């Protein structure tokens, strides 16, 4: 029986970066290597492995023929140059928890672990793609046709790592996920386990600023329609939205940006950017988006550009099942771990799954609250504490 920490160290080798992080973007070679290792671990530990058409990997332990499944999971893909804990911890902890819970006879349901494809949405947008297809929120064909900035589609990227299957969806009665907090509340309050009770609302706007290409030197200033200047004004406007609200009621960022022609002696004709806006209160988020649209109109006049919102990915805030939180609190208490209710600002596959089945999400502390960064860190003790509580909650839920 491989020890959890040994397995985690093994997993952290795939796509390892010099700063102690990983680079395992969805369907990259490193993601493929880690998926292959995970698949062999599942097979070596008595799981039946099923891969679906969008590359979600399921490890099944069918102890009651025909019974539905309690599923535990997260994601193996990472952001570029990111932490080795985000997602991967939850997939491996889920696998160990399922293996331990399945070793105890009885129970009303079968057990499964899942690696959701492309949770991060860094190479292929949107985030949480694999669980969105599984829950019917995103059509499979749309997901497979999505291209990365170099034009490679999800379908061909998955084929390149032999990552597609044809498994039919399994019947899920409940979903559990454990994840590093990616924030600092647990650390600041000295708590070991976060009981995720609600998620913030997120709007991700794909915005295109259109101007006119011209000569950076020769073109008269009054004639210019500089898309990069317009984009710069928009970036500042997005950040200043936050100043109009109480602290920690609104998070905004412009994160991804492409400009054409990106030439040293040509004024940009087009800038494409991703605007990320999140709030715990839907009303605050809607007010912020209204204010931003008003700012866009002003910037269009000032920079003589056109600004268009071309796409929107969103998920709405909402509570997690209270019954699951109560069970998780009782198990953390019984095992002697400090715990508190947490809100998640980051999206997770549990954000999708809670819309279709009873879902329980747990957090363990992130040192300095940092994530999507090689410095991301969670201690062995906290990882093992989370695994212990996850296993206990899984056993309770799977008992029916
Ligand atoms: O967008 C998100 O918050 C998710 O972590 N990908
Ligand atoms: Mn994650
Ligand atoms: Mn992430
Ligand atoms: Mn995430």
| Backbone phi and psi for residue 143, each to the nearest 5 degrees, phi listed first | -65, -45
CATH number of the domain bearing residue 250: 3.30.70.360
pLDDT reported for residue 350: 97
202 C-alpha vs ligand 1 centroid, how far in Å? 9
DSSP helix/strand/coil, 142: helix
Mutate to test the pocket of ligand 1, among 24, 348, 350, 370 (most ligand atoms within 8 A of CB): 348
Residue 68 shares a structural domain with residue 24 = yes
Do 187 and 213 belong together in one domain? no
My answer on whether 33 and 101 are in the same domain is: yes
> Which pLDDT score, from 0 to 100, does residue 2 have?
58
> Residue 309 belongs to what domain range?
201-315
Does residue 55 share a domain with residue 159? yes
Among positive and negative, which fits the CA dihedral 337, 338, 343, 345? Answer: negative
| Model pLDDT, residue 317 | 79
Weakly modelled stretches of the chain, pLDDT under 70: 1-2
**Same domain assignment for residues 41 and 115:** yes
Pairing of β 172-180 and β 69-74: parallel
Strand ordering across the sheet containing 251-260: 251-260, 270-279, 201-210, 306-315
Residues 207 and 196 in one domain: no
Q: Ligand 1, atom 6: nearest CA belongs to which residue?
A: 120
| pLDDT confidence of residue 1 | 47
Q: Whose CA is nearest to atom 1 of ligand 1?
A: 347
Cβ of 347 closer than 6 Å to ligand 1, yes or no, is yes
CATH code at 20? 3.40.630.10
Nearest-10 Cα torsion for 321, 277, 208, 257:
-100
What does 117-137 look like in DSSP terms, one character per residue?
Answer: TTSS-SSSSSTTHHHHHHTTS
Tell me, what's the pLDDT at 362? 98
* Domain boundary residue, one of 315, 336, 365: 315
Q: What is the distance of C-alpha 31 from the center of its chain?
A: 15
Q: Are residues 304 and 325 in the same domain?
A: no
Name the domain count of the chain: 2
Interface confidence, given as ipTM, is: 0.90
- Report how far residue 339's alpha carbon sits from residue 388's, in angstroms, rounded to the nearest whole number: 13
Distance CA 335, CA 325 (A): 15
């Amino acid at each position: 029986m491989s020890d959890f920490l040994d397995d985690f160290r093994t997993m952290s080798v795939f796509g390892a970066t010099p700063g102690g992080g990983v680079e395992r973007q969805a369907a990259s070679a490193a993601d493929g290597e880690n998926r292959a290792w995970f698949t062999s671990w599942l097979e070596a530990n008595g799981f039946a492995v099923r891969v679906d058409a969008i590359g979600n990997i399921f490890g099944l332990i069918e102890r009651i023929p025909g019974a539905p499944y309690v599923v535990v999971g997260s994601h193996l893909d990472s952001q570029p140059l990111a932490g080795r804990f985000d997602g991967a911890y939850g997939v491996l902890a889920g696998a160990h928890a399922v293996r331990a819970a399945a070793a105890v006879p009885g129970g009303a349901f079968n057990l499964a672990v899942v690696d959701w494809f492309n949770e991060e949405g860094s190479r292929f947008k949107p985030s949480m793609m694999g669980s969105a297809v599984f829950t019917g929120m995103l059509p499979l064909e749309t997901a497979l046709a999505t291209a990365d900035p170099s034009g490679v589609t999800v379908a061909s990227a998955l084929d390149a790592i032999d990552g597609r299957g044809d498994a039919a969806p399994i019947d899920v009665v409940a979903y559990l996920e454990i994840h590093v907090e990616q924030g600092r509340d647990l650390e600041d309050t000295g708590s070991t386990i976060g009981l995720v009770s609600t998620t913030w609302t997120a709007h991700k706007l794909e915005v295109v600023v259109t101007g006119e290409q011209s000569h950076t030197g020769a073109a008269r200033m009054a004639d210019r329609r500089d898309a990069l200047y317009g984009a710069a004004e928009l970036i500042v406007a997005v950040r200043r939205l936050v100043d109009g609200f109480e602290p920690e009621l609104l998070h905004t960022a412009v994160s991804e940006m492409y400009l054409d022609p990106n030439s040293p002696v040509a004024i940009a004709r087009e800038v494409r950017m991703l605007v990320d806006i999140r709030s715990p209160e839907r009303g605050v988020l809607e007010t912020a988006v209204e204010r931003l649209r008003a700012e866009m109109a002003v910037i269009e006049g000032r920079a003589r550009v056109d600004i268009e919102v071309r796409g929107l990915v969103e998920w709405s805030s909402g509570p997690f099942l209270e019954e699951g939180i109560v069970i998780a609190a009782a198990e953390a208490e019984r095992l002697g771990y400090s715990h508190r209710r947490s809100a998640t600002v980051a999206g997770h596959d549990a954000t999708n799954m809670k819309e279709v089945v009873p879902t329980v999400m747990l957090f363990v502390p992130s040192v300095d609250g940092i994530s999507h960064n090689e410095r991301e860190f969670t201690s062995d003790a906290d990882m093992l504490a989370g695994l212990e509580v996850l296993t206990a909650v899984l056993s309770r839920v799977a008992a029916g």
